[in-house]
Every structure is written in structure tokens, then in C-alpha cells.
Amino acid sequence: MSYLDELLNGIDVIWKPLSHKENGLAELTRGRVMSKTYLLKNAGKYPVYSSQTINNGEIGKIKTYDFDGETVTWTTDGANAGTVFYRTSKFSITNVCGLIKINDVEELNYKFLFYWLSIEAKKHVYSGMGNPKLMSNQMAKILIPVPPIEIQKEIVSILETFTELTTELTTELTTRKKQYSYYREQLLTFNENEVQHAPMGDEKVGEFIRGKRFVKTDMISEGVPCIHYGEMYTHYGTWADKTKSFVSTELVERKKLRRAEKGDVIIVAAGETIEDIGQGTAWLGEEGVVIHDACFYYKSNLNPKYVAYFTRTRQFHDQIKKHIRTGKISAINSKGLGKALIPIPSPEEQERIVAILDKFDVLTTSISEGLPKEIELRKKQYEYYREKLLTFSKEKTEA
């Protein structure tokens, strides 16, 4: 019998509603309305949490606080309804959040409750009228398993090990990404007196060719490889040799769609934010790839990965941003891209730079061998053990 089986074997679990006037486990409270003006006028050191999930839900800091100590909060309204947070210290919450205060910590552990609700709360979200909600009256009805407090603490200890490891790996990934960005800038910056710099659109350097229009409904599961401009932001990194999408041969011929070939660099030329416009992906596939008309492919004798890395530097973006037309969808044309000066070291130096940056790229972006894969594996381990540790029989329920 494994340690986990021994831990859970034969334990006595009672199920109780989270909040109930007779036998509930906790009291539920809502936050209060706080406008942006209020936050600005009362700026201070105590965090205010709202319905967002980024930055742990924090939307600002004020000089007072409404709650102090250990609690669990949840988001009551919006896309993130049912998201729970473990909180400590002094803080406040807005009216789209709820707070749980346990009646007896010798009966129910806060972290144990947090882990349970991380699984259970979203199952109770009501999505009617287009606005997801998990209000206090629904939250109160959620049944909570209550094993002996020692068992709760042991379960928490095991799950904390996984969450701490994931946090450490995520912190390391953030650090490595900063190093990657720093070295990419340094390695691709040259003294103009030592290395030739030339406009990317100079006919002796390279040529930008715009793709031709096709729409998402044209994309199929197999056929001629294609890249839609939206995928450049969500799927592709510095290089690729396979695509996630395809179009039919008939469509390619009928619309005379254009293809990038091996060694070309696909550059995205439109998007909702100017920060991502201009990012390039070196195409290294043996077969040509159809390119959307909100992208260019860049043909040159330069190392394609070298060019792709360069398009992701601050010095490149600083040069092209003045040529980007802004609006609901921002865009740049080939003339604007072509004005950017690119340093042209020897082929050997380009290859050396690529080899160094490839190592950082694998470490920080690879889902097969880098830190992202390690983090994903740890998350799956955590979810497996959380499910195993938080599965209880419902034989004893106090309603």
C-alpha cells in the first residue's frame, strides 16, 4: 500500500455546507465598491483585490484595510467567477469578490479549503444572461469534506511541495527570459565602425514580399502548410519547420496564394498592439508555406535565424515603430520595415550568435525539453495528486 493510500485509508470524513446558520463551516462576506478615483485619492500600502486574476487579483493599494489575517477569497462576477485565492495579512476586496472566514480552524484548515475550492468552486458558477456569477448564496451551499485536521494538514503539506516547486521553476523561467532578452540585445548590437549596417529593404540585402489574403474558414487540418497572421502571436516562436494549419491545393491555385520557402523569415505586419508587430519566424520546413496578407516573408542571404532573432530586439522595434499606422488594428508596410538598419556581421559570426541564442530559446520556450516542459510536468503532477488526495466518499453528510 502506498503512502497516499495509507494516509487516506479508513479516515472518517464528514461533509458540511460551507456556510449554514446551524452547521456551516464559515461566514461569507462581500467586498465593497471602490472606483479608480477612490483608489487614486486613497493610495497607500494595503492591497485591494478585484475580479481580475493577473497580479494575484490586485488592482491597487490604499491606506486602509478591511480584512486582516488568514482567509480565502473568491471572484463573484465576470469571466473569472469562481476563482479562489488564499490570502493573508491586511487587505481589502471590491464588490465583485467574496471572502470566507472559517468559524473553527481546529475543524477546517484554510489551505485545505483553498485547495478543495480550487477544484469545486467553478462547478457552481452560473453563466446565465452572459455574465458568469458565483454569488454568496450559491457558494454557501457547496459541500466541504472535513477529514480530521491532522489529515488536512498532511494533505496541504504534500500539495504545497508541488506548488512551491512550480513557483521556483516559474521564477527561474522569468529570470532566464530576462537573461535571454539581455543577451539577445547585446549579441545583436555592433559598433557601426566595425560591422556594416544596411537597410533591410536594400536590394543588396533582402526583399519583403507580402502574403495574399485567406480567412480562418479556409484553414483545414491537412493540405498545403499555411500561417495565418493571428497564429504568429499565439503559436510561433523564433523558427518553425511545421505548421498547425493548412489550406487546400485548390485554394492556393485559385487565389494564387504566395508561399515562403525554406530560409525565408515570416514577419507579422498587423495586430492589436504595436509591440508585437514586426516579430519574425524563420521558416525551416522543406515544403513552402502559404503566408497571410497581414504578413511578409523576407528573402535574403542572411542566416534566417539571425534575422528572426534581430526582429525580436528592442533596437529593431525602436526603428520600425515610427512607421506603424495605429488604429483598431495597427499595421506596417514593406517600406517601413525596409528602413530598419540591420547589422551584417560575417556568416560565421551570425552562426555563432544563433548558436548561443538557440540555447536560451530552448531553455525558455521549448515545450519538449526546456523549463516550460518542466513546469507543465510539475503542474500535471500537482493536479494528479490534488485529485487523488481530495477524493472522498460522501457517506456522512451534515446538511
Cα–Cα distances (Å) from 343 to 33, 134, 194, 348, in that order, read 54, 56, 10, 14
Q: Per DSSP, what are the bridge partners of residue 381?
A: none
Q: Which residue has the cell 524563420?
A: 282
At residue 295, the 3 state secondary structure works out as strand
pTM above 0.85, yes or no: no
How many helices and strands (H and E) does the chain possess?
A: 12, 23
Show the domains of the chain with their CATH numbers: 3-164+376-389 (3.90.220.20), 191-344 (3.90.220.20)
Q: How far apart are CA 223 and CA 237, in angstroms?
A: 22
Judge whether 205 and 199 are in contact, CB under 8 Å: yes
Q: How far apart are CA 125 and CA 81, in angstroms?
A: 7
* pLDDT per residue as tens, the chain (399 positions): 455 555 656 678 889 999 987 778 999 999 999 999 999 999 999 999 998 888 889 999 999 999 999 999 999 998 899 999 999 999 999 999 999 999 999 999 999 999 999 989 999 998 876 789 999 999 999 999 999 999 999 999 999 988 888 888 888 888 888 888 898 999 999 998 889 999 999 999 999 999 999 999 999 999 999 999 999 988 899 999 999 999 999 999 999 999 999 999 999 999 888 888 999 999 999 999 999 999 999 999 999 999 999 999 999 999 999 999 988 889 999 999 999 999 999 999 999 999 999 998 888 876 556 777 888 888 888 888 788 788 776 665 554
Q: How far apart are CA 333 and CA 170, in angstroms?
A: 37
Q: Burial level of 310, CB count in 10 A (0-12/13-18/19+)?
A: buried
Judge whether 283 and 260 are in contact, CB under 8 Å: yes
